[in-house]
Homo-oligomer: A and B are copies of this chain.
Amino acid sequence: MANMNMIQALNSAMDIMLGKDPSVILMGEDIGYFGGVFRATEGLQRKYGEHRVIDTPIAEGGIVATAIGMSINGLRPVAEIQFADYIYPGFDQIVSELARIRYRSAGDFFAPVTIRTPCGGGIRGGQTHSQSPEGIFTHVSGIKVVMPSNPFDAKGLLITCIEDDDPVIFFEPKRLYNGPFDGDPNKPAIPWSSHPKGQVDEGYYKVPLGKADIVRSGEALTIISYGTMVHVAVAAATAMNVDAEIIDLRSLVPLDVDTICSSVRKTGRCVVAHEATRFSGFGAEILSIIQEECFWDLEAPIQRVTGWDTPYPHAFEWEYFPGQARVKAALQSVMEPA
C-alpha cells in the first residue's frame, strides 16, 4: 500500500499493464515524451519506449480510428483524449464503429480499446475544459462507460477496462486528480493522503465493472452519484447529518441496478447527483429505472442535482457547479413528509 493521488494511481495502472501485457500500448496528444498535460503518463515512454507510448497528431478522430485498427490487429490501445470536451471529433468513430464492430461482424471482430479522458469542472477551465459528456455515451449501445471517484477505484477500474474485450470510455474527474473535493472552492485543498481511498495497492488488482460502491450506508434516504459529486454528497449529508446511504456507481454502463434499487426500496427516498447538465443527462436514466422498479416504495419524488442547462461559464464556475447548497436543497425536499 502507498499514498497515491488519482494521477499516480492511473499512472500505476498503465505502468503495470504495459509491463504485464506486450499488446498494451498508449497513444494520445502530448502523452509520450511530455507525459501528458495532466502528467498521467509521466515516465512511461522512457520506461517502455516510443513505440508503446506514442505521441499522436492533434486528431481525436484519427486517434480513435487508428486505435480501432490496432485493436483489430491484436493490440490493446489505451488512447487519451486530452479533455472530454475534445472527444467529439472522434464521435463518429466511437458511435458508428467502435461500438458496433463486434455486433456487425457477429463477434468475428472486436475492438478492445480504452479511451481515457479528463472531465468535469472546478479548475477554471471555462466552457471548453469543463464538460461532462458521459450521459451521451450511455445512450450508445455497445460502449461501456466508467467514472471513478478516488485513486483506489481509478487504478482497479482502469486495469479492468484495459483487460476488457469491449470498448470502454473512462472518464476522469480532473478536479479529483490531486485530492478529494467537497464542493467548497474556498476551503484549502486537501490531498489524497488524507483520504482512505488514497491508499493504493502498488501491485496488480481489479475493481469490477457494474458493481456500485456503497460509500456510506444509511436508512433515511439514498444518494446516487459518481465522480466528483460523490464527495460533495458525502459532505452535504454529513453537514445536514441525515442518515443517507450514498452510492458511488463507478460504472454507468454496465449499471448496478440491484444495488440502486435495493437501497431505494429500503429508504424510499432518493437524490441523484451529477455534474453534467440536467436535461437528458444520465440522472434521467437512473431516475427512470428507479421509478419503474421501485415506484411503490417511493415516499417522495426523486430529486436530481445537476449542473444547469447551459455551457460551463468561466466566470460563474461555482454558480454552475452543483455544490453542497444544491445537494442540501434536494435532501431537504426528499425528506419532506408526504
Q: Shortest distance in angstroms between A222's beta carbon and chain B's nearest beta carbon? A: 15
A127 to B185, CA, bound (A): 46
A85-106 near B? 1/0 per residue, CB < 8 Å: 1001101100110001001100
State in angstroms the CA–CA spacing of A277 and B96 once bound together.
15
| Candidates B127, B282, B304; contact of A280 at CB < 8 Å | B282
* Contacting pair A92 B95 (CB below 8 A): no
Query: Is A142 positioned at the interface, with any CB of B under 8 Å from its CB?
Result: yes
> Which residues of A (141-173) have their CB < 8 Å from a CB of B?
141-142
B139 x A127 contact (CB < 8 A)? no
Work out how many copies of this chain go into the complex.
2
- Known contacts A139-B135, A280-B284, A295-B300, A89 near B88 by CB under 8 Å: no
* Per-residue contact bits, chain A 247-280, to B (CB 8 Å; 1 contact, 0 not): 0000001000000000000000000000011011
Task: Determine whether the beta carbon of A279 is less than 8 Å from that of B85.
Answer: no
Q: A100-B311, A292-B301, A309-B141 are in contact. Are A279 and B285 (CB under 8 A)?
A: yes
Chain A at the B interface: SS class: helix
In the bound complex, residues from chain B placing their C-beta under 8 Å from that of A136 are: 136, 139, 280
Q: Is the Cβ of A103 less than 8 Å from the Cβ of B292? A: no
Interface size on A, residues (CB 8 A): 42
Residue of B nearest to A87 (CB): B92
Is A77 an interface residue, CB under 8 A from the partner? Answer: no
Q: Flag if B103 contacts A92 (CB, 8 Å).
A: no
Q: Is A56 an interface residue (CB 8 A)?
A: no
* Residue among A135, A139, A280 having the largest count of chain B Cβ atoms under 10 Å: A280
Contacts of A104 in B (CB 8 A): 127, 311
A198 at the interface (CB under 8 A from B): no
Report whether A85 and B91 are in contact in the complex, using a CB–CB cutoff of 8 Å: no
CB distance from A190 to the nearest CB of B (A): 32
Chain B hits for A88, CB < 8 A? 91-92, 95-96
B301 close to A291 (CB less than 8 A): yes
A85 to chain B, nearest CB (A): 7
Bound together, the chains give a CA A291 to CA B276 distance in angstroms of 20
Is the beta-carbon distance between B310 and A302 smaller than 8 angstroms? Answer: no
CA distance A288 to B304 in the complex (A): 9
Give A94's nearest chain B residue, CB to CB: B88
Give the most central of A96, A128, A135, A284: most B CB within 10 Å: A284
Contact (A287, B282) CB under 8 Å given A100-B311, A104-B127, A277-B139: no
Question: Nearest-CB distance from A334 to chain B (Å)?
Answer: 11
A178 at the interface (CB under 8 A from B): no
Per-position binary interface string of chain A over residues 297-311, scored 1 when its CB falls under 8 Å from any chain B CB and 0 otherwise: 010111110000111
From residue A307, how far is it (CB to closest CB) to chain B in Å? 10
Measured between C-beta atoms, what is the minimum distance from A62 to chain B in Å? 13
| Contact of A117 with B by CB under 8 A | no
6 A-B pairs with least C-beta separation: A88-B92, A295-B301, A139-B280, A284-B284, A91-B91, A284-B288
* Known interface pairs A100-B127, A253-B279, A291-B302; 5 further A-B residue pairs with C-beta atoms within 8 A, sorted by A's residue number: A103-B127, A103-B311, A135-B139, A291-B291, A295-B298
